[in-house]
Chain A
């Protein structure tokens, strides 16, 4: 997919575990894993907002467009 999810990079920068982030934003680790692996078809604004709040970052830090 042309949209790359850089959640791993942001988690590493913030030294946070996936499990902790999943707990903070209120989704399951399985769903977070789907998001990280790029298998997700869509992301809700509410989820994006929660991730940005938890990681103290902008949506552009997590999502990146790359021409396929």
Chain B
């Protein structure tokens, strides 16, 4: 009963995270489009995200950096969506099934993709930022360990499924 309640709370949080990240992604895209005609908008794309220095330096570089940010938040939103699906359809009585394993594998791959995008983003920002002396807002890239941990858990779940199947087929 206790774990059921925790999962319900987690489900609500996952929805909140998903909606928040979708809003954030949408707002950045919208602000970016506005900033193409009105450079003032690049000073605050969303939540104080100031890319005006990059805008003044080179519009193409500015667009690429915005693209990275949109991609990062979109992948984060996708991870939140996977979590929603997982928490919605998770059968706590029989948790070891192919559905859970596939979703966990997707989460692990998505986090790994997120890490790759974050690394590219950080390298790009550092390259321009150091050269031009701009303020650098880097994306944390420590979560690659999380991808590895989830991948290991996926392997454990897969073994669990094998054991469950064997157990089910023991007459």
Contact = CB atoms under 8 A, between A and B. Distances in A.
Interface of A: 27, 31-32, 34-35, 39-44, 47
Contacts of A27: 171
Secondary structure of the B contact surface, majority rule: mixed
Contacts, number: 23
Interface residues of B, number: 5
B163 to A, nearest CB: 10
A27 B169 CA distance: 13
Query: Which of B165, B166, B170, B171 is packed against the most chain A CB atoms within 10 Å?
Result: B171
B123 to A, nearest CB: 50
Given A31-B171, A34-B171, A42-B170, 20 more contacts: A27-B171, A32-B171, A34-B169, A35-B171, A39-B169, A40-B169, A40-B170, A40-B171, A41-B165, A41-B166, A41-B169, A41-B170, A42-B166, A42-B169, A42-B171, A43-B170, A43-B171, A44-B170, A44-B171, A47-B171
A52 B171 CA distance: 14
Contacts of B165: 41
Contacts of A35: 171
Nearest to B165: A41
Nearest to B168: A41
Contacts of A34: 169, 171
